[in-house]
Amino acid sequence: MSSSLIIKKENFKVEETIQLTGSKSESNRALVLAALSKGKVNINNLSAAADTVTLENIINQQIKNKNAVINVGPAGTAMRFLTAYLSLLGEKVEITGSERMKQRPIGTLVNALLSLGADITYKEVDGYPPVLVNGAFEQKTKHILIRGDISSQFLTALLLIASSLPQGLELEIMDELTSKPYVDMTLAMLAQSGIKHSWKKDTISIAPQSFNQSTLTIEPDWSAASYWYSVAALSEKSKIYLPHLKKDSLQGDSAIAGIMSLFGVTTIFTDEGIVIEKVDYEVKPQLLDFKECPDLAQTVVVCAAILGKEFSFTGLETLKIKETDRIFALQTELAKIGVKLIETQADIYQLDCEELNIPQSIKVATYEDHRMAMAFAPLATIIEEVIIEEAMVVEKSYPHFWEDFKKIGFEVSS
Ligand SMILES: O=C(O)C1=C[C@@H](OP(=O)(O)O)[C@@H](O)[C@H](O)C1
Ligand SMILES: C=C(OP(=O)(O)O)C(=O)O
C-alpha cells in the first residue's frame, strides 16, 4: 500500500481559519515539570504531536513499571529529557529510539549527568542511544561545564531537573549556545512553575526549590504556523487566521513573522490570535540566520527556492543531526526543481536558482522528517500536483496537517 499523498490545488480558499495544535516544545517541557511537581503544575492545551503523546505515555507508564525498555521513536526532546528525568528518579531502564535516534548524539548530556552523579552506560555505541540508566542517583557536584553548540536540548534536559537536585545546579556553558530561545523557553516555563534562576555571564544557576501550584497554558505551535506563512507567500492573494498565537511568545519560531515579511506576508496580531496576509511586494534576497530558529529553515529555504529568490542562509550547522541530515535532504529534493543549495563558505549556504524549472507534477521524498513533508506541501499552491511520500511523517509535530490542507481547499488523496 502506498503511503504517499497527492496534493492538488482544487478550491484553494483565499480566506480560512486554521486551528494549530499546541507547541511540541512547550508541551514536552510541561510534561516533565508536571511529573516532577507531583501534581502542583497542571497543563492546559497539551499538543497532539506524536512526540508529546509518546512522552506523556512513557512518563505515566514509567512511574508504574520498573526495569522497562522504553522507546521514544523519533522524538529527540523526549530522548534527551527522559535521560535526565529517569536518571534523577534512579530508575533502571533502557531508553532507545528509532534507527535515526541511534545516530543522534547524546554524549554531552550523558557526560554531564555522570558528573552530577547518575549511573548511565551505553548499550551499543558510546555517545549515542540506546542508553541504560542503571538506578541510584547520588549528587556529587552542582557545577557542570557543558558545550552549548551541539543541541540546546542537553541544557534544557538538565535545567528541567535542576530544582529537584539535592544541591541544585550551576550550568556553565562553553562554546556558542545554539538554539538559545529554547533555553529561554525552558527558564520561562520554570518561572511560571515557581522555579527561580539566575543567568550570569555563561552560568545558569538554579537552587533546590519546590514548585508552586500553577497552570502552564501551551500556546499553539509557531513552527507549524510557518507552513501557512509559506502557503501565503506562494499564493497571489490569501488571508489566513491562526487563533491564539501571541506576539510575546515563548517560542523562538515566532521569528517566522519577521522573516516572512521579507516575502510579502504581513502579520496582524490581535487579542484572538494572528491574521497573515499576502500583499504585493518585491522580494529582495538577503542572508538569513537560523541559529536561533533551526526548525524554520526548511520552510524558508524551500519557499525562497520555489520563488527563485537567491537568498543565502547561515546557522544551519545543527540541521545535519536532526530527524535526518536536513541539508542533504533539501539539496536532493530542491534538485528536482532545478535549484542548488551550495555551501559557499563554512556554514553559509546560497541558493542557485539559475536553472529553476518546476514541473507540473513532482514527487517529494520525506526522509522520515515531518518538516520535509510540510515544507514542500505549499508547492501545491502553484503547480498541478505534489506527491508527498510517507506523508504521515507529519504526525511527529502536526498530526492534522493534511486535514488542515483539505480545509483550506487542497485536494488530498492517496
Ligand atoms: O528544546 C526543544 O524543544 C527543541 C530544540 C531544538 O533543538 P536543538 O537545540 O537541538 O537545535 C529544536 O530544533 C527542536 O525541534 C526542539
Ligand atoms: C528537531 C526536531 O525535533 P526533535 O529534536 O525533538 O526530534 C524538530 O521537531 O524539528
pLDDT digits (tens, 9 = 90+) for 11-43: 888 899 999 999 999 999 999 999 999 999 999
Q: Which three cell numbers stand for residue 273?
A: 490570535
Asked if residue 295 has its Cβ within 6 Å of ligand 2, the reply is yes
**Beta strands 239-243; 69-71: pairing state:** unpaired
Q: What are phi and psi of 412, to 5 degrees?
A: -125, 115
- For range 95-110, the mean pLDDT: 98
What does each C-alpha distance from 374 to 268, 278, 295, 355 come to in angstroms?
Answer: 23, 19, 11, 24
Give me ligand 2 centre to Cα 75, in Å: 7
Give me ligand 2 centre to Cα 64, in Å: 28
Q: Which residue has a Cα nearest atom 10 of ligand 2?
A: 295
* Per-residue pLDDT at 63 exceeds 60: no
The CATH architecture one would assign to domain 24-217 is: Alpha-beta prism (3.65)
Asked if residue 186 has its Cβ within 6 Å of ligand 1, the reply is no
Among 206, 195, 251, CA closest to 36: 195
Amino acid at 206: I
- For a ligand 1 pocket test, name from 23, 24, 25, 150 the mutation site with the most ligand atoms within 8 angstroms of its C-beta: 25
pLDDT digits (tens, 9 = 90+) for 120-132: 999 999 999 999 9
CATH class (in words) of the domain with range 5-22+219-413: alpha beta
- Confidence grade of residue 1 (pLDDT, cut at 50, 70, 90): very low
Tracing cell 520525506 back to the chain, one arrives at 366
- For a ligand 2 pocket test, name from 83, 109, 322 the mutation site with the most ligand atoms within 8 angstroms of its C-beta: 322
Q: Which residue has a Cα nearest atom 8 of ligand 1?
A: 151
Per the annotation, the verdict on 119 as an active-site residue is no
Instruction: Return d(Cα 131, Cα 124) in angstroms, integer.
Output: 8
How many percent of the chain have pLDDT more than 90?
95
What is the ipTM for the molecules in this complex? Answer: 0.99
- For range 235-250, the mean pLDDT: 96
Predicted pLDDT of residue 156: 99
Q: How many CB atoms are closer than 10 A to CB 390? A: 17
- Confidence grade of residue 175 (pLDDT, cut at 50, 70, 90): confident
User: How high is the mean pLDDT of the chain?
Assistant: 96
pLDDT digits (tens, 9 = 90+) for 285-323: 999 999 999 999 999 999 999 999 999 999 999 999 999
Give me ligand 2 centre to Cα 323, in Å: 6
- For range 392-406, the mean pLDDT: 98
Asked if residue 77 has its Cβ within 6 Å of ligand 2, the reply is yes
How many percent of the chain have pLDDT more than 70?
98
Predicted pLDDT of residue 10: 84
- For a ligand 2 pocket test, name from 295, 323, 393 the mutation site with the most ligand atoms within 8 angstroms of its C-beta: 323
CATH 3.65.10.10 in the chain is located at 5-22+219-413, 24-217
Q: Which of 51, 221, 253, 295 is catalytic?
A: 295
- For range 336-350, the mean pLDDT: 97
